[in-house]
Amino acid sequence: MAVRIRFSPFQKSPRRRRVLFTIAHYYGASPDGKYGSTRAAAAEGRRAALERTIAGLHQVVAQPQALVHGPSHGFIPANGIDETEIDVVVCTTGDSHLLDGLALPAGAFRHHPTAAEPRFLGFECHDVLRDALGRYDWYCYLEDDIGIEDTLFFTKLSWFAGWAGPDSVLQPNRFETSDVEPVRRLYIDGEPVKPERIGFIPDIHEANRISADALGVEVGFRRVTNAHSGCFFLTQGQMERWAAQPDFLKRETAFVGPLESAATLGLLRHFRVYKPVRANAGFLEVRHLHNRYLGALLQFV
């Protein structure tokens, strides 16, 4: 039997954090597809991942969130220290997408169609972010299979930005999980065997490792050669700084390739980019919604 609970819309905070998410989404089947977005058998998986990516932003990051409150026979607001309002823009090219039939409520995202060459679609997201300057506190880019599962995600980012300074950007560690041993949780963006193969290599010696006390422990962060996470998160000041650079929107591919460069190259060129160190890798993390490595490309002997 359903329980009837009184619900009244919560009063909005006068100063909510405002976050803009842009998502680069492409699907076009190809017989020799290298990425999941081009594998012929991957359509349903790609659609499901995109749904989880967008739904997760609303369920984990955005308000309203609530706690059942028996005395009032209703709800009371929860997670008020992290009140966040979001907008989600999905960038596509031509008809090569899976937006039709997504099991998402109306208004969950805005569609931004383009005529971009598919490999350079991520740079269209940069254009959207630049055009929105002045309207948000955080400017974010996601590949279409990245899940945020931490309700304190932007609280942690704001904390880091507050003491590390505007020249420093914190990237999350991207992980996959398995139900069986030997590895249950794998952070997939480690340092490369041959760094020269990734192309652009930043000078990471200045302020290579920094740390601060959080929740009674020392939390460390390190600059790494492979700062890729399939996403980035910039404050308004950082986005303004990057958008003013002469190489912004030049669609350069010096870091691995076009897809990786859209997510990472600009950050490496214009900021000190950090990730949480191995001992506290989960301090800031995002889920890779396709287990491309754990249980697929990697085989444990």
Whether 300 maps to a domain, the answer reads: no
Find the CATH number of the domain harbouring 224.
Answer: 3.90.550
Q: Is residue 72 part of a domain?
A: yes
The β-bridge relationship of strands 66-69 and 74-77 is antiparallel
Structural domain includes residue 11: no
Answer whether residue 123 is part of any domain: yes
| Per-residue exposure over 263-288, b if at least 16 CB sit within 10 Å of its own CB, e if not | bbbbbbbbbbbbbbbeebeebbbbbb
Model confidence pLDDT, tens digit, residues 106-123: 999 999 999 999 999 999
Selected residue with higher pLDDT from 134 and 73: 134
Residue 42 lies in a domain: yes
What distance in Å separates the CA atoms of residue 301 and residue 298, rounded to the nearest whole number? 10
- Tens digits of residue pLDDT in 191-210: 888 888 898 988 999 999 99
CA triple 248-251-253, angle to 5 deg: 115
- The letter for the amino acid at 250 is K
Tell me if 143 is assigned to some domain: yes
**Structural domain harbouring 49:** 17-288
Query: Would residue 10 count as lying in a domain?
Result: no
pLDDT tens for each residue of 248-279 = 999 999 999 999 999 999 999 999 999 999 99
254 vs 171: CA distance, rounded Å: 19
| Residue 273: per-residue pLDDT | 97
C-alpha distances out from residue 161 to 154, 274, 291, Å: 10, 11, 31
Predicted local distance difference test score (pLDDT) of residue 74 = 87
Question: Which pLDDT band holds residue 232 (cuts at 50, 70, 90)?
Answer: very high
What are 194's two structure tokens?
Answer: 């041959």
Distance of alpha carbon 199 from alpha carbon 149, whole angstroms: 31
Indicate the pTM of the whole model. Answer: 0.91
Structural domain includes residue 301: no
Domain count, the chain: 1
In which residue are the tokens 């304190």 written? 152
Beta bridge partners of 233: 140
